[in-house]
Amino acid sequence: MSDTEFDRKPNNDARNIAPILPCYDDLAASCAYGWSMLERGVKDRKSAFHTPSVATITTAGHPTIRTVVLRGCDTNAKTLRFHTDTRSGKIAELTENPNAAMHFYDAGAKIQLRLAVKLETLSGDAYDTAWAATRPMSRECYQVTQSPGSSIDEPYQVAFDADATRDGEDHFVPVAAHVYQMEWLYLAARGHRRALFDFAADTQNWLVP
């Protein structure tokens, strides 16, 4: 028998009831709280939402998943942003199939978000703004001359060249994740709360946890 927060049955004993968020029984407020956590995830490096997982489908048709750093959140536009290398697997994957999923879990808050997203590489002003905001340490990642994920005989064969890669800009690409669904799961001793927010259909519903 496992004993995770999720396995616990509702407990109405007042002595066991932890402080609960005001959005607990409020659909719209739960959605707003989810977006506020995403906004905080961009700014707060210690937030669990700073490093979500992004799942795509490989060009061979299999699901795959990886961690990224959350770099942007536009709540009104329902869009998130992360940065990557143009030569990475995820770029080939999103070019073939832009449908993807993002996963966030904050163990302290006991809140999980599952997002259905469409990925899009950014260009123009959005590209320039994202590149201008990158720190020297982040730029170094994009200065590697070989493609990320390519085989090498030993680990010291990785070569960086700032000049040949224009400081890394040649391989840098910001990716927008347009969120069309958010599934909210809030674990609580008095009863879990699960909800689905569909931004494309403009609907919101409670779900059985």
CA distance 9 to 40: 30
> Are 145 and 160 in contact, with CB atoms under 8 Å apart?
yes
Cβ proximity to ligand FMN: between 82 and 184 the closer is: 82
How many residues can be counted in the chain?
209
Cβ proximity to ligand FMN: between 146 and 205 the closer is: 146
CB atoms within 10 A of CB 17: 12
| 90 forms part of the interface with ligand FMN (CB under 6 A) | yes
Q: Which distant-in-sequence residues (6+ apart) come within 8 Å of 194 by Cβ?
A: 183, 184, 185, 186, 206, 207, 208, 209
| 146 forms part of the interface with ligand FMN (CB under 6 A) | no
| 96 forms part of the interface with ligand FMN (CB under 6 A) | no
Stretch of 30-38, 59-67, 124-132, 178-186 contacting ligand FMN, by CB under 6 A: 59-67
Cβ proximity to ligand FMN: between 83 and 139 the closer is: 83
Q: Count of residues binding ligand FMN (CB under 6 A)?
A: 15
| 98 forms part of the interface with ligand FMN (CB under 6 A) | no
| 189 forms part of the interface with ligand FMN (CB under 6 A) | no
DSSP class per residue in 111-157: EEEEEEEEEEE--HHHHHHHHHT--HHHHHHTTBSSPTT---SSGGG
| 69 forms part of the interface with ligand FMN (CB under 6 A) | yes
Give the interface with ligand FMN as residue ranges (CB under 6 A): 51, 64, 66-69, 82-85, 88-90, 148-149
